[in-house]
Amino acid sequence: MVPFPVGEKISFIAAGADFSLALSGSLQTVYAWGNGVFGNLGDGFKEDRAKPTPFHIFDPRFPLVNTPLKVIQVSAGSRHVIALCEPGQVFS
């Protein structure tokens, strides 16, 4: 069983070669865990994570805005993650 914060509802999951992703029901938090050696866990580090680690996606055009984008869907490839955010922005 994968441990998530109490009360957190997961709306979508995706899996890469040796890592996993989960999208929260609030659509603002993506959790990633597993092998992070290629930087594919989205937290900026190249370390493995045994437990789901939350990360948020911020619009790079507005670096001073501290509000995460609403993530609609996530997808994982062998060694990469793609996130579709409102209003139609794609990040990888």
pTM: 0.85
Residue 2 domain-assigned? no
Write down the pLDDT at residue 1.
79
Weakest-pLDDT range from 16-20, 26-30, 53-57: 26-30
Q: Is the pLDDT of residue 28 over 80?
A: no
Question: Alpha-carbon distance 29 to 39, whole Å?
Answer: 18
Residue 74 domain-assigned? yes
Residue 59 domain-assigned? yes
Write down the pLDDT at residue 14.
95
Encoded amino acid at 4, one letter: F
pLDDT digits (tens, 9 = 90+) for 72-89: 999 998 888 899 998 889
Give the mean pLDDT of 52-71. 86
Looking at the 3D structure of the chain, how many domains does it have?
Answer: 1
Q: Is the pLDDT of residue 15 over 90?
A: yes
Residue 3 domain-assigned? no
